[in-house]
Amino acid sequence: MLYVQDGDLVIPGQLMGEKIRHDINCFHEGDKVFSSVRGIVRVEDNRVRVIPSSGGYVPREGDLVIGVITNILPGRWSVNIRSPYLCTLRGEEVTRDPLGVDLSRYFKIGDRISAKISMVDEVHSCQITGPWKLEGGIIIDVDPKRIPRVVGRRRSMLNIIKEKTGCKIVVGQNGWIWIKDKQTEFAIKTIKRIEREAQTQGLTDRIIKMLDKELSIKL
């Protein structure tokens, strides 16, 4: 039995239900399930989880991240993914001879890329795969714990922003978001509002109204 609803704000130790399935940021004692963090409840397919209100980024396998090349080393690059943990991109991702070629032919220091985390070790150091260079545009910071709200269920919120603004947008789970095109400032304004109001009800409807109003003014 659930004692909370999707979108509810919970605090650490709050009872969320009994005899229910649970996922991240929850713990159970007997049949009772509690929240282990302060955050927003998400109920999907009869499984409950909690999205933390704030916090830094800890790499997880499969995450899409945005990074900046910070160093070129023998056979690999060092990449800043807005995390205190070491992140590397192996030269084999782009060439068969990573030790015999100048890797700066592919990515230079300062280049911005998107990639997926392919491996995380016991101290959270990670490797990334499938790098894609992000040309032009700008990168903004968002609390990593608010990224699920920016993206929305089945990417619904992100698709709304893309459709209304016409911007190209890549969202990194590490809290960096790359935006490019004519309505960049408008897209940033929208994303920052989502970040501020992530814990409130009815946010999607308010965002749609804001976008429609702003676009009608521009027209």
Is residue 2 in a domain? no
Are 147 and 128 members of one domain? no
The whole-number average pLDDT for the span 26-32 is 88
Decide if pLDDT at 12 tops 90.
Answer: no
Across the chain, mean pLDDT equals 90
pLDDT of 218: 63
Same domain, 46 and 76: no
114 and 162 within one domain? no
Please say if the pLDDT value at position 39 is more than 90: no
The 3-state secondary structure of the chain reads CECCCCCCEECCCCEEEECCEECCCEEEECCEEEECCCEEEEEECCEEEEEECCCCCCCCCCCEEEEEEEEEECCEEEEECCCCCCEEEEHHHCCCCCCCCCHHHCCCCCCEEEEEEEEECCCCCEEEEEEEECCCCEEEECCHHHHHHHHCHHHHHHHHHHHHHCCEEEECCCCEEEEECCCHHHHHHHHHHHHHCCCCCCHHHHHHHHHHHHHHHHC
Give the domain-ending residue among 84, 108, 133.
133
Report whether pLDDT(219) > 60. Answer: no
- Quote the domain boundaries for residue 160: 138-218
| 100 and 85 assigned to the same domain | yes
In what order do the strands lie in the sheet containing 9-10? 9-10, 39-44, 47-52, 21-22
What pTM value is reported for the model? 0.75
**Which one, of 24, 55, 57, 59, lies nearest residue 129 by Cα?**
59
110 token code pair: 């300062």
- Do 142 and 129 sit in the same domain of this protein? no
Residue 108 pLDDT greater than 80, yes or no: yes
pLDDT in tens, 154-177: 999 999 999 999 999 999 999 999
Over range 125-154, report the average pLDDT.
94
198, pLDDT greater than 70: yes
Q: Is 4 inside a domain boundary?
A: no
CATH number for position 77:
2.40.50.140
- Residue 68's region, left for phi above 0, alpha for psi from -120 to 50, else beta, is beta
The pLDDT confidence band at residue 120, using thresholds 50, 70 and 90, is very high
In percent, how much of the chain has pLDDT > 70?
97
**In total, how many domains does the chain have?**
3
- The reply to whether 199 and 153 lie within a common domain is yes
Q: Is residue 24 part of a domain?
A: yes
182 and 146 share one domain: yes
Domain shared by 203 and 155, yes or no: yes
Same domain assignment for residues 212 and 190 = yes
